[in-house]
Amino acid sequence: MLNSDQIAEAYRRFGITPDTRNVVVVKVLVLGDQASHGRMREHVLEHVLGKEVPLTDELVERGTDLGRVTKYYKLGGATKSAEARGPRRSDMELHALAAMALRGL
């Protein structure tokens, strides 16, 4: 379970500011609880200025600051540049996921 200090640290590390243009909002709900889904969606749309778009790999890739991710998760060995593609990018993603999992323990 994340606490407010961990959330604030993530904001600092990844540069989330009032000028941030790309945000992914994830809320885990109980299966079949449509009322909570509707309220949560309305709340997000009310408080996040922007438009709702489908989450795709292309949009995530375009909105990711690979330099910042590489630095924070110490992925220098997984890539030679912040423009990694193909197998190199897959290695970066696996290393980042492993780092996130280990920090959650």
| Contact between residue 48 and residue 25 where contact means Cβ atoms under 8 Å apart | yes
- The DSSP 8-state label assigned to residue 74 in this structure reads T
Long-range Cβ pairs for the range 46-53 (8 Å, 24+): 48/23, 50/21, 50/23
43-60 pLDDT, tens digit each: 888 888 888 889 998 988
| Contact between residue 50 and residue 23 where contact means Cβ atoms under 8 Å apart | yes
- Domain limits, the chain: 1-63, 64-105
Blockwise average pLDDT, block size 10, the chain, 105 residues: 74 76 80 79 85 88 82 69 59 79 67
Question: Which tokens sit at 93?
Answer: 């993603």
Tell me the percentage of the chain whose pLDDT exceeds 70. Answer: 83
